[in-house]
Amino acid sequence: MQPPPEMMDLDLDRFAFRNLHPDVFLGTASDRYVGWLGQIYTPERYADRITKRTHKVGGKSYIEQVLPVDSVAEYYQHFPVLELDFTFYRPLLDTNGNPTQTFQVLQHYRRFLQSDDRIILKVPQIVFAQKLFRAGTFVENPDYLGPTLFLRRFYEPAVELFGPLLTAMVFEQEYQRQGQRTDAAGFAQELAQFFRAVPADSHYHVELRTESYLAEPVFEVLHQYGVGQVLSHWTWLPPLSGQFARSGGRFLNIGGQCMMRLLTPRRLRYEDAYARAYPFDRLVDGMQDPLMVEQTVQLMHTAIREKIQINIIVNNRAGGNAPFIARQIAERFLESQNSDRGAIQK
């Protein structure tokens, strides 16, 4: 039997996911990992252009090897969407309106993107974090939910640079310990004030990392302003299906988009997940949450039925190697599609 058109160009053995389904966009969090040579990247293209940098995580130092930015052209031969998360650490323009190094790197990326490539950016933490880690401690962020900073130093330059290629902006709400957080109703009021002050836009998605904020007052504000709920497989959050149920099983983004981020195994801290996954070149036995792939696929089918485009972003820390996890998801998705067809035919 001839496969459906969207499956004709699939080659999962080569990590080629661009034609998985018209409403499914499978990609990764960041891209230039040397550990992906021979999977996503052709080794001989970059042999003399690999750089090294030291990355400190949980008091330990790791040597990360990084491919040049132009490798993103080869990345997009495999994946239809890419999340760039380094924008989380610095705005695109400084206080004087001049381009920062972050903006300059994004400009370099933009040179290699084609008209059917999709890009996702994280909003700088200075916009959405109540507290910032400075000089070894957390301090109050004076720019928290500042609409002018967001508009001038991130939103406007991002939209101008990427135009229709920009698929989503992810606002990450940092985890807040019990006793140090406001209640859900208070947080919802803060969100309402912010989204009322910024331009209405279908690109917005909020990742709620504090479980108590997965509550009706917050979801009502997101619904009111058409802001998507990021379904996040992360350390201290409920399972993906539970997060979706908390919002009443609704896709809230006004643009018909859903964001799913597979970041770390549940109950495993960032530094421990990083240490186990490093150097990100293979799946790590026993690391991956056994429910993650199955619930991801279930939500993919739910989105498709409701005519929602779903973007699944996979992080190496979710199990050791993002391309292999993406292949697990694609294989399970196609298996479930075939099962559904068989059931209908019977």
Q: Is the pLDDT of residue 25 over 60?
A: yes
Ordered alpha helix ranges (H), 122-183: 125-128, 147-150, 156-162
**pLDDT by residue (tens digit) across 206-227?**
999 999 999 999 999 999 999 9
Confidence class of residue 10 from pLDDT cuts 50, 70 and 90? Answer: confident
Interval 5-22 mean pLDDT: 81
Interval 319-327 mean pLDDT: 98
Non-local (6+) Cβ contacts of 64 within 8 A are 52, 53, 54, 55
Q: Is the pLDDT of residue 99 over 50?
A: yes
> What per-residue confidence (pLDDT) applies to 5?
39
What is d(CA 174, CA 87) in angstroms, rounded to the nearest whole number?
A: 15
pLDDT over 70 for what percent of the chain? 95
> What per-residue confidence (pLDDT) applies to 338?
76
What is d(CA 250, CA 216) in angstroms, rounded to the nearest whole number?
A: 12
Confidence class of residue 134 from pLDDT cuts 50, 70 and 90? Answer: confident
What is d(CA 286, CA 276) in angstroms, rounded to the nearest whole number?
A: 10
Interval 175-191 mean pLDDT: 87
Tell me the average pLDDT of the chain.
93
> What per-residue confidence (pLDDT) applies to 341?
55
| Nearest to 120, CA basis, from 323, 313, 316, 324 | 313
What is d(CA 227, CA 221) in angstroms, rounded to the nearest whole number?
A: 8
Domain boundaries, the chain: 5-345
Question: Which homologous superfamily does the CATH classification assign to the domain defined by 5-345?
Answer: Protein of unknown function UPF0759 (3.20.20.410)
> What per-residue confidence (pLDDT) applies to 231?
98
> What per-residue confidence (pLDDT) applies to 8?
40
Interval 248-267 mean pLDDT: 98
Confidence class of residue 340 from pLDDT cuts 50, 70 and 90? Answer: low
What is d(CA 229, CA 249) in angstroms, rounded to the nearest whole number?
A: 11
Q: Is the pLDDT of residue 319 over 70?
A: yes
Q: Is the pLDDT of residue 342 over 50?
A: no
User: What is the helix (H) or strand (E) element at residue 13, kind and residue range?
Assistant: none
Confidence class of residue 197 from pLDDT cuts 50, 70 and 90? Answer: very high
Interval 147-152 mean pLDDT: 98
Confidence class of residue 180 from pLDDT cuts 50, 70 and 90? Answer: confident
Confidence class of residue 9 from pLDDT cuts 50, 70 and 90? Answer: low
Q: Is the pLDDT of residue 1 over 50?
A: no
What is d(CA 82, CA 59) in angstroms, rounded to the nearest whole number?
A: 29
> What is the length of the chain?
346
| Nearest to 252, CA basis, from 174, 172, 306, 324 | 306
> What per-residue confidence (pLDDT) applies to 343?
45
pTM of the model: 0.94
